[in-house]
Structure 1
Amino acid sequence: MQINKERLVQTFCEMVSIDSESYHEKKMKDYLMNIFKECHMECIEMPIEGFEAGNIYAVLKGHTNKEPIMFSGHMDTVSPGKGKQAIIHEDGRITSDETTVLGADDVSALASYIEAIRTIEDNDLPHGDIELAISVAEEPYDAGSAYYDFSRIKSRIDYTFDLAGQVGLAALEAPSIISF
């Protein structure tokens, strides 16, 4: 069993095309909530006064006694991020049209989480609860995370795909702006 690479790239490119600069993530939030519901996930938005969109908590309920796991990410991009467009090159690379950022931070993580959930659902794979914690306004010093309702989270382990570098490497510790 493998992921559907074509569907993953399509999801990534759809998400890249959504304007989602920090504090202006409503369209991305709406897109994610719709996808999560299509994937049979329970999801809620945690509204934040003065913000266009709130943080998201979503869970794919498991049907085993396995420990829950969490994946976290953010839905905003840096500027210039309006009118983003993904260009797929013949060699498979995906870049922006060079007039904006691509917005791969953190769309690449979110698209991979979505594809993993879809693959689990498509193949009826046994799993424990899979939680997603998606924040707004991460780029301006994690502003949105300050409003996250962490009491909902049951997982003791979180994976955050928000790191530059060679594919296949992982950071076990790193300097950070905020700790939970």
Structure 2
Amino acid sequence: MEGDAEYEKKLAEFKSKLKSYPDFPKKGILFWDIFSAIADGPTSKLLQSLLLHVIREKFPQVEAVVGLESRGFLFSFSLAVELGIGSIPVRKKGKLPGEVISYKYDLEYGSDVLEIQKNSIRPGLKCLIVDDLIATGGSITAATNLLKSCGAEVIGCLVVMELKSLNGRRNIPDNIPVHSLVMFD
């Protein structure tokens, strides 16, 4: 489907459902909203089919879908169910019970910590990171490093939207394939 007329038609239909909000959450920011699209049942189903197609074409070896807090959770569970594999959350510090593995990373102003439950990862597990957006690439890079520290193999990243002007893709390790459904300048 990808690259052909039918795929491009479905992608254009999905993109037309996304809404943007200028000056949100602060002046000068143009916020692209995934919730405006997925509030509609047929659009949710369309997005699910686009994401599944990309996974089957580009990442068929996936053994677990890793959803990043919080909007990545919207996609990781339903994709994992459809594929018959596990769904693993990566969360902010203090949000997961049990034994966790943490990864601290720097932000523009300060730092943050991501965590994953230790018992959810086995060495060599082929993981696909899923999120709604690549902006600066910081959370995806941190999640990649966290998963690698657990012994997992990160086979790629799949996002719904990418903000090209922020160059976040260049911050993600070169050996990690990244696929974005929709790109905005």
TM-score, scaled relative to structure 2: 0.30
Task: Give 1 or 2: higher helix fraction.
Answer: 2
Structure ranking higher on relative contact order (CA contacts 8 Å, 6+ apart): 1
Task: Give 1 or 2: higher strand fraction.
Answer: 2
TM-score, scaled relative to structure 1: 0.31
